[in-house]
Amino acid sequence: MARERILVALSGGVDSSVAALLLQQQGHEVVCAYMKNWINEDNVIGHCPWLQDIEDARAVAGKLGVEFRVVNLMHDYRRLVVDYLLEGYQRGLTPNPDVMCNRRVKFGVFAAYARAEGFAGLATGHYAQRVETSPGVYGLFEGADKNKDQTYFLALLNQEQVRFARFPIGHLAKPDLRRLAVEAGLPTAQKKDSQGICFIGEVKMADFLQAYVPERPGLIRRAHDGLPLGEHRGLHYYTIGQRKGIGVPSNTANQAYVVVGKRADDNALLVAFDGPDAPGLWTSECRVHSLTFVGEPIPASTTLECRVRYRDPRIPIHFRSPAAPGHGSAAAPEAHLTFDQPQRALASGQIVAFYRGEQLLGGGVFV
């Protein structure tokens, strides 16, 4: 393996710490950098541990004896991720900030910074495996630890981004990664994994939205007959498939209501009794847009698999799209999906990731 000069996105967690460790052990020239994306400057309710994360990342770089940088991407992150998130919710969509952070910021403006600084690649602590499938062409495959696989969050990366990316820990199971961190004496070896909105931190989505999106109350209506059942605070607080916190009690038969739609025309939140007959809750076919492919475009008509949420299993689908002009059977920017089995609670704006076996082919956005 040729020695490379690689920039490691060091988040202050154990995964990226071991990524840097492994690259150094492989003989690469490693420089570590913390992406300063968000500092909770508006005092949003919640825990935003960026100061501690920087110190933890700096301590790891010190332990490894490598250069450490803090790269300020706050303006780009606000413009490319936070605005996308807020605008999406205001339009009644269900955006995914983690996927967009990877596409636009981490492997977008941060990768551009790395290139400008003369690095041969950008490494992260994602549980994914990058494999050269043909000379100069790289595919993405699921991480060896299926409980930690993060290829779903990489579904909107293109070939140029994947070619520049490095995923040093994709072959490891989490317990083995922890063991390596302990053996190397890394300061983050016992640090708990973070849970939150990408790099915003451990902030509840409802609290985040409350701080930035004005409330717009409206009626909660029963989907099949329009009967008003109560009032909601704003459509952006609710997601398709939500059962708890709607504000409408179960009926006398103990049937729970579930959110099945958000109607912008009259600002109505639509609910129905949860079950296979709930209108709008189950989807057998749908459209996706903003298709992005890791390698070659998916053929215009084919059978493959997809993952509609991060933790969901891969499921069989039929993928169909009009051929893109001048590209033979290559797929157009929009496609029609038919599921072998109806899927519950698919919402506009959600990300879908396409697979052939364990190989990630690309992704799109539900219409």
User: Strand order of the sheet with strand 218-222?
Assistant: 228-232, 218-222, 268-273, 257-263
Q: Are strands 268-273 and 335-344 parallel, antiparallel or unpaired?
A: unpaired
From residue 115, alpha-carbon distances to 2, 16, 24, 54 in Å are 18, 19, 19, 23
Which residue, 363, 30, 333, 46, is CA-closest to 208?
A: 46
- Catalytic site positions: 101, 198
What's the rounded Cα separation, in Å, for the pair 349 and 173? 31
Distance of CA 93 to the CA centre of its chain: 15
Which residue, 285, 261, 273, 260, is CA-closest to 341?
A: 285
The sign of the dihedral angle between the CA atoms of 48, 51, 56, 57 is positive
Beta bridge partners of 218: 232
Strands (E), the chain: 5-9, 29-36, 67-72, 121-123, 128-134, 137-142, 165-166, 218-222, 228-232, 257-263, 268-273, 282-293, 301-307, 315-320, 335-344, 351-356, 359-366
End-to-end CA distance of the chain: 43
What's the rounded Cα separation, in Å, for the pair 261 and 270? 5
Which amino acid is located at 11 in the chain?
S
Q: For tokens 């981490």, name the residue.
A: 106
